[in-house]
Amino acid sequence: QVQLVESGGGLVQAGGSLRLSCAVSGSRAYTMGWFRQAPGKDREFVAAIKWSGITTYYSPSVKGRFTISRDAAKNTVYLLMNSLNVEDTAVYYCAADIDDRLATFESWYDFWGQGTQVTVSS
């Protein structure tokens, strides 16, 4: 069983930055993804990173503003979010794909965290 615990959410003004963390239990290799769900909307893909830490993929809506990374020693994945805008307001979830496929599809992920709220004010 894999457990994922997100942290780092909060309230920030537009143009500001936040860094989300996802602590991962277990020692297997996973693709780690970040997804988000805004009120009244479906959950959407944000970014993913293969466990090697070398290959990443971003949604066009966040590319150039967000950076996904991992610290192997800490078994933690991060999402650094810069130039935040009101449209980034959502609950952010991290997820693990045990087949390490760099997937963008929600259904390909096997384990999910509880989510952390990010609110961007104008």
pLDDT tens track for 35-81? 999 999 999 999 999 988 899 999 999 999 999 999 988 999 999 99
Q: State both tokens at 37.
A: 């769900």
Given a cut of 70, whether residue 27 has pLDDT beyond it is no
How many residues appear in the chain? Answer: 122
Asked if pLDDT for residue 4 goes beyond 70, the answer is yes
Mean pLDDT, range 2-24, rounded to an integer: 96
Write the Ramachandran bin of 53: left for phi over 0, alpha for psi from -120 to 50, otherwise beta: left
Q: Which residues of 78-92 are buried (b: 16+ CB within 10 A; e: fewer)?
A: bbebeebeeebbbbb
Cα–Cα distance measured from residue 116 to residue 20, given in angstroms and rounded to the nearest whole number: 8
Q: How far apart are CA 31 and CA 61, in angstroms?
A: 20
Residue scoring higher pLDDT (118 or 102)? 118
Nearest Cα residue to 48 out of 30, 26, 24, 71: 30
The pLDDT value given to residue 22 = 96
Give the pLDDT score at 51.
85
1 or 122: which leads in pLDDT: 122
Q: Does 26 score more than 80 pLDDT?
A: no
pLDDT in tens, 101-117: 888 999 999 999 999 99
